[in-house]
Amino acid sequence: MPAPGESLVRVKLAALCNTDLEIIRGYKKFQGILGHEFVGEVEESGNSALVGKRVGGDINIGCGACLLCKRGLKNHCPHRRVPGIQDKDGTFAEYITLPEQNLYPVPDRVADEEAVLAEPLAAALEVTSQVHLHPASRVAVIGDGKLSYLVTQVLSLTGCDLTVVGKHRDKMAGLREFARTAFLEEVKISPRFDTIVECTGNEQGLQLAGELVRPRGTIVLKSTYAGEPKINPAAWVVKEITLVGSRCGPLDGALRLLEKKQVHVHPLLGRRYSLADYRTAFSTRHQLKPVFDPIL
Ligand SMILES: [Zn+2]
Ligand SMILES: [Zn+2]
């Protein structure tokens, strides 16, 4: 049942991402229904303009009353709820509820299969609101997974001098359209990049970020870390590095990029599974690709 101010949304598609797998490994100690990437259709809402609309959702639900919420920082509300991540059931379900103000209509030109990835695309877009990138910026993205694929495309729109460091041949081939690629084992270790966007979520990626960033450069941490990376930040202190944590981003901006076909997400979509088949989806080796379809 939707709470006051919430809408009832029938989930059309929900995607499984690395964060879901990290949560299973213990990140956030969340218990409940997983899933936070979705596209759905509003069935009930106090806002009649939303009823029947296809929507994506901003997943951070602030309390609305604390100092941070009042300053427009609901994503950092200490009492926030996040479907499938914190204190609220997620999107691997037939229905979810979300506050009206968290719902964003999906433009007609955006297919369900694109809209389901608006949330991670918004997270990729967040980098551009945190770090000023311009055509003269030398930028490296570390990692070649889903998040890296989205971050690389978004950053390439700035015209910056972009390199992706990764290790999977097939994924790197797909990234070559948007950036220079360098395989991990061949990458020249020298502190030459103004900005590094770390998308691996592992210790090796973090270590490499510290080695590739120039003195007084910036490392953007775009991944969550389930373990506890053993990194001595002394070298970062000496290089006077700026560290930027980066999480969720603007869903409306992501939907605009999808509407204008400025970002491609289809290569990230894999097999579809019905909700009843969730065990297969979670246990598959292509863990970043399953898309759930609750209506099958
Ligand atoms: Zn996700
Ligand atoms: Zn709050």
Q: Which helix (H) or strand (E) holds 203?
A: helix 203-212
Here the tokens at position 274 are 């019905």
* 58 Cα to the center of ligand 2, angstroms: 15
At 109, the pLDDT band (50, 70, 90 cuts) reads very high
> In this predicted structure, what is the pLDDT of residue 3?
84
Find out whether 273 and 293 touch, Cβ atoms under 8 Å.
yes
Can you tell me the distance from the alpha carbon of 150 to that of 125, in angstroms, rounded to the nearest whole number?
A: 8
pLDDT at 296: 37
Per-residue pLDDT, 263: 97
Does residue 286 surpass a pLDDT of 70?
A: no
Cα(9) to ligand 2 centroid in Å equals: 23
Average pLDDT over residues 282-295: 61
Whether 70 and 9 have beta carbons less than 8 Å apart is answered as no
Per-residue confidence (pLDDT) for residue 225, from 0 to 100:
77
Q: How far is the CA of 59 from the centre of ligand 2 (A)?
A: 14
Percent of the chain predicted with pLDDT > 70: 96
| C-alpha 51 – ligand 1 centre gap (Å) | 26
Residue 292's pLDDT is 66
**Nearest C-alpha neighbor of 173 from the set 267, 240, 96:** 267
Ligand nearest to the CA of 75: 2
The whole-angstrom separation of Cα 115 and Cα 41 is: 12
CA of 216 to the centre of ligand 1 (A): 31
Q: How far apart are the CA of 147 and the centre of ligand 1, in A?
A: 9
Residue 58 has pLDDT above 70, yes or no: yes
Contact (CB, 8 A) for 168 and 286 = no
Return the ligand number nearest the Cα of 70.
2
Cα of 50 vs centre of ligand 1, distance in Å, is: 24
How many Å lie between the centroid of ligand 1 and the Cα of residue 17? Answer: 5
d(CA 98, CA 82): 10
Which amino acid belongs to residue 128? T
Going from the Cα of 119 to the center of ligand 1, the distance in angstroms, rounded, reads 7
- The string of pLDDT tens digits covering residues 219-239 is 999 987 767 888 889 999 999
The half-sphere exposure of 107 on its side-chain side, counting CA atoms within 13 A, is: 15
Ligand nearest to the CA of 73: 2
Rounded to the nearest angstrom, the distance between the alpha carbon of 166 and the centre of ligand 1 is 20
pLDDT band at 289 (very low <50, low <70, confident <90, very high): low
Each residue's pLDDT tens digit, 5-28: 899 999 999 999 888 888 888 777
Q: How confident is the model at residue 287 (pLDDT cuts 50, 70, 90)?
A: very low
Q: Mean pLDDT across the chain, nearest whole number?
A: 92
Report the pLDDT averaged over residues 39-49.
96
pTM exceeds 0.85 for this model:
yes
Expressed in angstroms and rounded, the spacing between residue 64 Cα and the centre of ligand 2 is 5
Q: How far apart are CA 11 and CA 96, in angstroms?
A: 7
Q: How far is the CA of 77 from the centre of ligand 2 (A)?
A: 4
Q: How far apart are CA 183 and CA 185, in angstroms?
A: 6
Residue 295's pLDDT is 46
Tens-digit pLDDT profile for residues 110-154: 999 999 999 999 999 999 999 999 999 999 999 999 899 999 999
* Cα separation values, 116 from 38, 64, 85, 189, 251, Å: 5, 26, 17, 37, 11
> Of the ligands numbered here, which is closest to the C-alpha atom of 62?
2
Taking a 5 Å cut-off on Cβ, the residues next to ion ligand 2 are 62-63, 66, 69, 77
The mean pLDDT value for 155-173 works out to: 96
**20 phi, psi to nearest 5 deg:** -60, -40
CA of 168 to the centre of ligand 2 (A): 41
131 alpha carbon to ligand 2 midpoint, in Å?
25
